[in-house]
Chain A
Amino acid sequence: REWNGSFNFETYRILEEISQEMNNLVAEHPGLGRKVNIGYPFENRLMNVLKFSTGGDKLAIWLGAGIHAWEWVTQLSSPWTASKIASDYGNDPSITLILDIMDVFLLPVTNPDGYVLSQTKTHMYRKTRSKLSGSLCVGVDPKWNWDTGFGGPGANNNSCSNSYHRPSANSEVEVKSLEDFTKSHGEVKAIITLHSYSQLFLFPWVYACAESHNFDELEIKNEVAQENAQSLSSLHGTTYKMGPVCLLMYQGSGGSIDWFNDSGIKYSFVFALRDTGLYGFLLLANQTLPTAKGTWLGLKTIMEHIQDHPY
């Protein structure tokens, strides 16, 4: 029943179901979508990314979801987003134009080990599953494990903490795989990492507050953010706070958003998706589709901006 585009996006899904839907999508759009394996996390599951391409290797936009296991709505938004990209190609002029000149990569579940654990053992699980000798606690927060300003202020060195960064940068295969892919591809122009909770649209920097950085660059990010804000509120009136992480939230070290930015990817953003303000990580299933649809308008606006302002 689910084969012919009847996948129900409005319910929470286990990893296998998301994976199967990715297969279905590729089968339904053989000229546009294909699966690319970029690595194997600690428990040897697959890190499969969907590549939407009209041919060849073009400049690329990367969308990554599910780095934090307990943010289930993020993992659920990605299959809908994938389906939307595929079905809009050839029908929506804007998406058609974007895909004619750029490739779009979408990683639906960046932390598959953690996602499985959060659905089988403990819902409140966020980290990877790698083991650290000498510690009773397992896993690392993949958000703080990147090779940029690593180990500086704000990062957590308590291995039992939810935001533990581990002693060395990119020790986590989930992180290393993304770093390696980005470097080897060489033409990734935008990275948007999707989280849930709090309704935020964040841009660099985390490790240092914006005053010390290039003002022009910040202006460009602000411009994208303002366009994005209008799109995001157009469907449900959802309001997002926007700004550099350091100013809006806290200072941290080894953050993914900074690594991408420092690697020369000018459009490096983090989306914290919609919630109702009442449910947090426990956002109920009937809210997943409205969340995905609202987010899509923002994502589309950002992709259009990137296409209009190449570098």
Chain B
Amino acid sequence: QETFVGQILEIIPRNEEQIKNLVELEPKEHLQLNFWKSPTIPGETAHVRVPFVSIQAVKVFLESQGIVYFIMMESVQVLLDKKNEEMLLYQR
């Protein structure tokens, strides 16, 4: 199985311009971002999975744009491992 070393960030865009900046991040292939919940309306949260290699770049970008964010999941892989363990346990 593919591993997902990285974090989920919860981002709260304040206005349309910040939303536009976030939307433009998605197609940047080198960042390998995966939006779980897309930025849509100012004040609404967006959730994005950021792989380990891009975390620094993304956080610097958000801070430079004054876009508010929180770490929603510290480690995606820890949760995935927990989920897989639960499944295996029940299958046994």
B61 CB–A CB distance under 8 Å: no
Contact for A124 among B37, B49, B87, CB less than 8 A: B49
Chain B positions 76-91 with a Cβ under 8 Å from a chain A Cβ: 76, 79-80, 82-83, 86-87, 89-91
Determine the residue in chain A with the shortest Cβ distance to B76: A282
CA distance A123 to B5 in the complex (A): 13
CA distance A29 to B36 in the complex (A): 38
A122-B1, A123-B4 known; A282 vs B40 contact (CB < 8 Å): no
Residues of chain B whose beta carbon lies under 8 Å from any beta carbon of chain A:
1-2, 4, 8, 26-27, 34-38, 40-41, 47, 49, 72-73, 76, 79-80, 82-83, 86-87, 89-91
Determine the residue in chain A with the shortest Cβ distance to B2: A122
A161: B residues at CB distance < 8 A: 26-27
Q: Is the CB of A123 within 8 A of B86?
A: no
A197-B36, A278-B72, A280-B36 known; A124 vs B4 contact (CB < 8 Å): yes
A8-B90, A12-B86, A158-B27 known; A123 vs B73 contact (CB < 8 Å): no
CA distance A71 to B8 in the complex (A): 16
Determine the residue in chain B with the shortest Cβ distance to A281: B36
A8-B90, A120-B1, A124-B4 known; A282 vs B34 contact (CB < 8 Å): no
Q: List 29 A-B contacts (CB under 8 A).
A: A11-B87, A11-B89, A12-B83, A12-B87, A12-B90, A13-B87, A14-B87, A121-B1, A122-B2, A123-B1, A123-B4, A124-B2, A124-B34, A162-B34, A162-B35, A198-B37, A249-B41, A250-B38, A278-B73, A279-B79, A280-B36, A280-B37, A280-B72, A282-B83, A284-B79, A284-B82, A285-B83, A285-B86, A285-B87
Residues of chain A whose beta carbon lies under 8 Å from any beta carbon of chain B:
8, 11-14, 119-124, 158, 161-162, 197-198, 248-250, 278-282, 284-285
A8: B residues at CB distance < 8 A: 90
Determine the residue in chain B with the shortest Cβ distance to A280: B36
Nearest chain B CB to A142's CB is how many angstroms away?
17
A280: B residues at CB distance < 8 A: 8, 36-37, 47, 72-73
Nearest first, the 3 closest Cβ-Cβ pairs linking A and B are A122-B2, A11-B90, A282-B79
Determine the residue in chain A with the shortest Cβ distance to B38: A250
Nearest chain B CB to A146's CB is how many angstroms away?
19
Determine the residue in chain B with the shortest Cβ distance to A247: B41
CA distance A281 to B27 in the complex (A): 21
Determine the residue in chain B with the shortest Cβ distance to A119: B87
Q: Is the CB of A250 within 8 A of B40?
A: yes
Contact for A121 among B2, B34, B86, CB less than 8 A: B2
Q: Which of B36, B40, B41 has most A Cβ within 10 Å?
A: B36
Q: Is the CB of B86 within 8 A of A11?
A: yes
Nearest chain A CB to B74's CB is how many angstroms away?
11
A120: B residues at CB distance < 8 A: 1
Determine the residue in chain A with the shortest Cβ distance to B35: A162
Nearest chain A CB to B1's CB is how many angstroms away?
6
CA distance A162 to B89 in the complex (A): 31
